[in-house]
Each structure stands twice: as structure tokens, then as C-alpha cells.
Structure 1
Amino acid sequence: MKDLLAKLSKLNDKYSMFTTITADKDAGDSKFLFSAKDGLTSKDMETKCGSRILEGYRPVFDATAIAKMREAGGKLIGKTNMDEFGFGSFSTNSPFGVPKNPYDLERSCGGSSGGAACAASVIEYHVALGVSTGGSVCCPASFCGVYGLVPTYGRVSRYGVIDNGNSLDKVGLLSSCPFQIAKFLPIISGKDPKDPTSCCQPELEIKGKKIKSVAVPENALDGLSKDVRSGFNASLDTLRGMGIDVEMITMPSLKYAIPAYYIIETSEASTNLASYVGMRYGRQDGDLSLKFDDYFNYFRTEYFGDETKRRIILGTYARMAGLRDRYYSKSLRVRLHIISSYKEILKEHDAVLTPTMPFVSPRFDEISNMSPVESYSADRLTVPPNLTGMPHMSVPCGYDGNGMPMGMQIVTDHWQEDRLLTFAKEWGAVFDVRRPEVPL
């Protein structure tokens, strides 16, 4: 552990996976090392949430997930890089450098927990805390060839999460080892009076329940890259060889997930971001001689990134008088319809299975040529389970001709994390994960 802490800065110079690294290079009595996404507050480290507007913000409290990891004997080694406020699929919306994929430095780590997935990939047996809103754990897990678990909404306290969308945010785990995820999920889970949404959860039971049948929505396989389709089909054959029944189904409701999600997410995000005006948190270097509205407008124009401004505008529009019922309220009804669709399928099957992302990690030059709509559409497979609040997990399932990893995403019913953990362990025994070459 001491060797890692000593080499952490040098490693970060290559991959840009951390925005803040611990100044204490002594592991001391720590039982393990862990990292946390920069959207989780930490009282001994600057917390910027990927935004210039929060530079200098040093919280006076830990997020509950971080506090529980510390209580279990862990040492927080750094805060991982991310898209500003979690807005993005490629971690390119960060003003603090862009995390680079450990398999190819010209490609993205995914987003918005890109730095967390990179750390999980390059640091052996490392566990990273991430936050998922619409795919921010599973997307980077797929691109970086690691396991990424998103628990049921409410399983892990959201206290200390700098909110993107309140009804969507979930604290998750990323690691190259499924046993690490199984080890640490019980540690960060549980009821927390500081977060009422965590207080109605049933006890987390780890009994080794197996997944015996999966449903694969045929319409989710449209638009896949040739490599992802080939890798996913090979994985289905492996599942059958493991004795798991695979049934192809139709799930028409999936096509409504993206539009519903972006209405809900931007509406909630635009409300949450109203508190960032340069007077309470982070940067406070504006011209105080200005009138409030002028100061407010200047500060947000100067320190918010383009994607953040775009989502504030979209969310504010969707919540306007006369439009709220047309957009936001209708999207909430669509969410309930998608939940019902999953519930019906899960009456007959243990899980729903899809590829995690429709393509392997794109190059940065390809990302720069994407329109916002194309970028949003990349999340079409990760958004549905996030919208429902159901637990889901991305596991590595193949590699393309350039050695770039891809993942498949498995979704179970609410509170059924046990099945995901058991499946990940079994899958890890039959699938040979290729680790990137890392100069440690």
C-alpha cells in the first residue's frame, strides 16, 4: 500500500484519474485503500464535483458511504475525476483534465465516473466509489473492463452526494475483482437517518442466490457495433454453457427511456444547481459591487461548463408553467410504465440482460464530433434500469480487435443485489479478464 501511495501522483500524470490525491503518504493502520468520485463530499479533501464553481470547497463532513468505508478501516487515497456534476457519458466535460482509458490513452474512460473506473482498472484489487444517475457506473465499467455495481435506489445512503437528479442518484462500486464488490457492498449499505430514502430498505442478505434464467430484449440489440454484437452473442453461449436459460423477448417500453430520463434528470438538476451562485460554496471571487442578479449571472456564466448550462436551460424549460404537465409529469408516468415492464418480465425470469454500451470506448476525436443528441443516445441501454431504481451490474464480456473491452449489463428486481453478486463471482470464474499494462 505504501508503494502505491508513493507512486500515485506519477500514475495520475499518465491517466488523469484523480482530481485530488491524499497528501498523507502513510497508509498507517489502514486495512485497505479506496477512492471516491469527486461528487461525494469528504471532509479532509477538496470536493469539486468536476466543476470550477466548486474549487476550494472543503466540506466539513463525509458522505455516509465514505464515512462507512473509513469506519471499516479504509483510507481514502483520492477523489476521482468526472464530468461536471455528472453531466456526460465520456468524462470529457471536466475542466480538471480528461481521464484516459488504460487500454488506449486516445480513448475515453466513459462517464461520468470515468476516473473511478480508470482507478479500478489500473490499481489491482482497488475498489472505487462511484455515483450513477443514468449510467455513470456501468458505462465506464464497460469501457474500462471492470465490474460496476449499482444497488437499488435507497440501498446506500445518498447523504453527502452532490446531487445531479435526486430521484436517480445512487452510490455504487467499481473494481476489477467481483469479490471486492461483494465484500464492500454490505459495508456501505444500510439505513441512514440522514437520508430518509434509505430508511425503508429490507436487510441486505447475501445468501448466494443464483440467476437461473435471463431475458434478453431483442430491440435492445438494434444499433450495436459489429464487435459488441459478436461479443455479446458469444457471452450468451457461455451463459447457456453455465446452465442459465436465455430467452429472447420484446420490450417496447425501452424506447421511451431516453426522452423520459433526460426530462426528469435535467429538471431535477436545474433545481439543484440553483444554489451555486458564488456566495456559499467554492469560488467566491466575484465583484461584490454588482447587483445580485448581475453577480449571479456573471458567476454562473464564468464557472459553469457548456454542458451544465445546456442542462439548466433544458430543465428550466421543462418545468415552466404550462409545460410541466406536458413534459415533466408525463415523463414520471413513463417511468412508472417502464418499471411495470421490468416487473412483468422479472415474474418469469431472474434478470434482464443487455449489452452495457452499444459500442466500445470511442476515441476523443470521435467524441468531439458527436452532437449532444448522439452523446445522450449512447446511454440508451444504461438509462432504463437507472430510471427504475433497480439494481444492475456491468460485467466484462469481451474485447474487440484492438483489445478494447466491452461489458454486458444484468438487471434484477428491487433489493435483489445478492443475485448480481453471485452471478458476478460465477462469471469471473469462466471469463478471462485481460488487465491493461500499467507501469507501477
Structure 2
Amino acid sequence: MSQIITLSAAELAAALRAGEVTSVEAVQAHLDRIAAVDDAESGVHAFLHINAEEALAVASEVDAIRAAGGAEAQALHPLAGVPIAVKDLIVTKGQPTTAGSAMLKGWMSPYDATVIEKIRAAKLPILGKTNLDEFAQGSSTEHSAYGNTRNPWDLNRIPGGSGGGSAAAVAAFEAPLALGTDTGGSIRQPGAVTGTVGAKPTYGAVSRYGAIAMASSLDQIGPVTRTVLDSALLQELIGGHDPKDSTSLPEPVPALSDAARLGAAGDLTGVRVGVIDELGGEGYEEGVKARFEESLELLKARGAEIVTVSCPHFKYALSAYYLIMPSEMSSNLAKFDGVRYGQRVLPESGPVTIERVMGATRAAGFGDEVKRRIILGTYALSAGYYDAYYGSAQKVRTLIQRDFEAAFQSADVLVSPTSPTVAFELGAKIDDPLAMYLNDIATIPANLAGVPGISVPGGLSEGLPVGIQFLAPAHEDARMYRVAAALEAALEQQWGHPLLAEAQDLESAVAAAKEGKN
């Protein structure tokens, strides 16, 4: 395995600036890695589309600017030349954007999302688009119309969802950086089960313009990386006010990378870390609880004060989420009807009317999980049930927000396991939607309240990664980066290496899987 692809984004950026490696070499090394391990039938299958020609062209441009020196070279963004992958829910001009759905098969966006505009302006080569659960609806990336993504730690297990493709690409060393979206944990939960770092910024801190909407009051674009510093650097790049997004916060991007560096230095004296009483105990695997307790001890050793906080309405978060999210989703997906957007499917027989075209199109274009949530959301919004279901769920959402406000009176950041279990086997929960939904029990409250959250690797349980989640008050993303970086540094000091340094020989695993299918 090429040493280039094992570098963090910050390390690779430093090597590029020092002339120790070129951007073309870095991009080509990652493309080679993708070719070696990303086979759709037997490999990781993190990518749905590879953007090799454009990525190499951007890399060549960056190399030429650096070679010429002068003011233009000095003005390059610190991450210029570092390759990145993009979740296929974020529209990208010149590349297909499918949202993991047959409804948008082959669709080419005529414009770039705001985050993509920023990525292009900073000259980060885009390696391609990553797999996801259809329209971001799932916790395992098994609901993609284009096949499963597999966990690089064990190809028979799920990589989390909905953004399993981005997390798996980063974990498999196919990309040092990736973009994801988080509606109920779709960045953080995949981060937990793949041993990567996944961050959900404060709602509105990163523009959602150009992210295909699932639930507009919950969706948030964020970074997927292998280190906390890399996440901070990427969020600084993509963050900031965007007049094209009515929910975008009109405030400057905080110094997140400085906070991460401060945390890595190790001193947490005076920082109060609140353990959420309701996010633990029954339903959480013993190995997950053990790694969580060990992480608390490491934080305490670095000077943090560990306190217990109660958020009594968190137990209703899952129920409230699965009324609010399907309701907003059913409304957002109404436009994919064969008339305005998406594929058009004509009825097999009988008259061709708008109603019958819509029915045929949506029956063919949407998968089972999307249909399930459309039905649930439409019912919750229907006359006679709106107040009983959607209205009541919004009241619970307010109570959860108040729980956060009260908890942050006693603690600077909150901490919990990110996911109650490690990665489960492919197919284990695909026919049990309720069991699947429980994977997001610890991540959903942050989306309902709009607060930032980050998941960092906390060790292994039975050879599989465990994630630790930090939550901070809205607008205080720097706090979570500081504490997350402190835990990351403490764990790496204990292990003697980053967690992914001991990941399996993936190329051999993929080769064995191919041999087994032949």
C-alpha cells in the first residue's frame, strides 16, 4: 500500500507544500487504491462514480501553480491538491448525482452545490461520488439502488448509513477527505462503525444549497476524515454564510483547526464533560460500554471534570424523529413524479394520464425504504392527524432542545457512545426496520436540536471500531473539536498509532472475496 494514501489530509497538504510529493502523484495513488479495493461485486464499493480525468487535471493545475511560485502559489488554499470524495447526494456539475436512487439514474446536475463551489475554488481534486442509502434513508447503505457498500474492517459487515460510502472510502484509504450529510446521524454513525471521524456542524453553519433535501430542518453537510484536525480544516473550508440558503447562519467560521490543535496538546483543565445518563445502559453492547468508560478515564487524566447530566426527553427522540423526518421527506420527494423531476415511467397498459404516470414512475423509481417513509410521512401530515402526530413530535423536539439547554448549564460538552453496537453483518437487519432505526438512538437528538456533534474512534470491540460522540451547544463547534482532539491524542498515545494503522490487509481480503465468488 502506497505511503501517500496513509497520510492524513493535513500531513499530505504539508508534503505537497514542501514539494515532497505532487498532487498528481497523490491523486493517482488514491485512484490506484480505488481500482484495487473498490470492486462493486467483491470489494468495498464506496464509489458510484470515479472522476479521474477532472481530478488529475485539477491536480496538474495545482502542481503547475506551486512550481511557478509567486503570489498565485502563496494564495493557494492550505488543502489545495488534497483529493476529496463527495457523497452522491450533493449536486456536482459534470458528474452524475443519483442520491443512490433509480429515480435519478444518470442525472447530471447543471450547477454545483455551494460546498462544491468552495471545494473547486480551493482546488481540491474531486475523486468521485460515494454510495449512500437511497435519498439518505437508512443506517447501513443497504438501501442503495446500486448495491451495498461494505465495511473495510470486515467486508461482510455494514459501513453504517446513510453515508456509508464516504466513511468506507476514508477508512479504506481511498480518499483522505470526504463530504457527507447528517440528518439523524448519517455522518457520525458510519464514522463510529468504520473507525473514522465524522462531524455534524451546527445547523446552518455549512450551506445546504445543492444538497438534495431529505428533511430540511434536520439535514446538515459535514466532513468525513481520519483525524479530528482534518475535520476541522475541512469544515473551515466549506463553512460560512451563504445567501442562497435561507437557513445559513450569518456569522464567520470559527477557528476550528486552532481548537483541534489546542485539544491535541492535551490540557482539558476546567472543561466539564457531561455524561448523558439516557444514552447508555440497556441496548448498548458490553464492548461499546467498556471503550466508553476507558475514554472517560483518559479525559479525566487530561484534566477534564466528568459530570453526569440527565436529558429526560431524549427517550422520546427516536419516536419524534421518525415522525418529523418522514413528514418533511414525503414533502421534499413529492417533486420526483415523472413530470417535474426524475425518471419517467409510463403505465404498462391503459390510458396515459398524469396520475398514472406518477404512480408508475414512483413505483419503479423508489425503493422499499423510501416508499415506507413516504407513506408514514404522508399519513402524519394528513388532515385529522397533523396535530396528533407531526404537531406532537414538534412539541417533543422543543422539550429535547430544552434538555440540551439545561445540560449545557452543567457541562461544556456532552459525551456518549455514538452507536449502541459495532457494525453488524450485511442483511442482519434489512427486514427489520425498527431494529435498523435504533442504530441512530444516540445521534438523533443533535439533529432535532441543531447542535454540533462529532464521532471519534474510541477503540475496538471484538476487532471492530467503537465510536465516541461529543456534542456542544449551537455555534460552539470549536468546543467539540477541542475535546475530541484531546481524546484522539490520548488514545493514539495509548495505542502507539492511529486506529486505522492496524486495519486489515484490505487488498488481500478483496482478492479472497473475488476468488470465493469465482
TM-score scaled by length of structure 1: 0.96
Q: How far has the Cα of 1:285 moved from its partner?
A: 4.8
* Structure 1 unaligned regions, length at least 5: none
Residues 1:216 and 2:275 aligned together = yes
User: What residue is the counterpart of 1:41 in the other structure?
Assistant: 91
Q: How far has the Cα of 1:34 moved from its partner?
A: 0.4
User: Residues of 2 paired with 1:353 and 1:374: CA distance?
Assistant: 23
Residues 1:392 and 2:453 aligned together = yes
Out of 325, 329, 348, which is 1:265 matched to?
Answer: 325
Q: State whether residues 457 and 499 of structure 2, in contact with CA within 8 Å, keep that contact through their aligned partners in structure 1.
A: no
User: What residue is the counterpart of 2:191 in the other structure?
Assistant: 141
User: What residue is the counterpart of 1:357 in the other structure?
Assistant: 419
Q: How far has the Cα of 1:287 moved from its partner?
A: 5.3
User: What residue is the counterpart of 2:121 in the other structure?
Assistant: 71
Out of 46, 63, 66, which is 1:17 matched to?
Answer: 46
Q: How far has the Cα of 1:80 moved from its partner?
A: 0.6
Residue pairs, 1:15-414, within 5 angstroms: 15-24=44-53, 26=56, 27-30=59-62, 31-123=81-173, 126-201=176-251, 203-206=253-256, 208=259, 212-222=271-281, 223-286=283-346, 290-368=352-430, 371-401=432-462, 403-414=463-474
Deviates more, 1:355-364 or 1:219-228: 219-228
Give 2:499's aligned amino acid.
Answer: R
User: Residues of 1 paired with 2:380 and 2:60: CA distance?
Assistant: 51
Task: Provide, for residues 288-309 of structure 1, a one-character-per-residue CA deviation record: whole Å limited to 9, x for no partner.
Answer: 9611111100111112100000
Deviates more, 1:94-103 or 1:19-28: 19-28
Structure 1 consecutive aligned stretches of length 4 or more whose deviation exceeds 4 Å: none
Q: How far has the Cα of 1:333 moved from its partner?
A: 1.3
Deviates more, 1:84-93 or 1:192-201: 192-201
User: Residues of 1 paired with 2:453 and 2:249: CA distance?
Assistant: 21
User: Residues of 2 paired with 1:125 and 1:109: CA distance?
Assistant: 15
Task: Provide, for residues 33-75 of structure 1, a one-character-per-residue CA deviation record: whole Å limited to 9, x for no partner.
Answer: 1011110000011000010000121001111111101111111
Identity value in percent:
35
Deviates more, 1:160-169 or 1:412-421: 412-421
Deviates more, 1:336-345 or 1:191-200: 191-200
User: Aligned to 1:414, what secondary structure does the other structure show?
Assistant: coil
Which one has a larger percent helix, Structure 1 or Structure 2? 2
User: Aligned to 1:140, what secondary structure does the other structure show?
Assistant: helix
Q: How far has the Cα of 1:406 moved from its partner?
A: 0.5
User: Residues of 2 paired with 1:351 and 1:164: CA distance?
Assistant: 28
User: Residues of 2 paired with 1:6 and 1:52: CA distance?
Assistant: 28
User: Residues of 2 paired with 1:310 and 1:179: CA distance?
Assistant: 39
Q: State whether residues 309 and 410 of structure 2, in contact with CA within 8 Å, keep that contact through their aligned partners in structure 1.
A: no
Which one has a larger percent strand, Structure 1 or Structure 2? 1
Q: State whether residues 125 and 180 of structure 1, in contact with CA within 8 Å, keep that contact through their aligned partners in structure 2.
A: no
Aligned-residue CA RMSD (Å) = 1.8
Q: State whether residues 32 and 74 of structure 1, in contact with CA within 8 Å, keep that contact through their aligned partners in structure 2.
A: yes
Give 1:10's aligned amino acid.
Answer: A
User: Residues of 2 paired with 1:256 and 1:342: CA distance?
Assistant: 14
Q: State whether residues 124 and 176 of structure 1, in contact with CA within 8 Å, keep that contact through their aligned partners in structure 2.
A: no
User: Residues of 2 paired with 1:286 and 1:48: CA distance?
Assistant: 21
User: What residue is the counterpart of 1:422 in the other structure?
Assistant: 482
User: Residues of 1 paired with 2:136 and 2:395: CA distance?
Assistant: 24
Give 2:30's aligned amino acid.
Answer: L
User: What residue is the counterpart of 1:3 in the other structure?
Assistant: 29
Q: How far has the Cα of 1:248 moved from its partner?
A: 2.0
Matched residues, number: 438
User: Residues of 2 paired with 1:193 and 1:199: CA distance?
Assistant: 9
Q: How far has the Cα of 1:28 moved from its partner?
A: 1.7
In terms of Rg, which structure is larger? 2
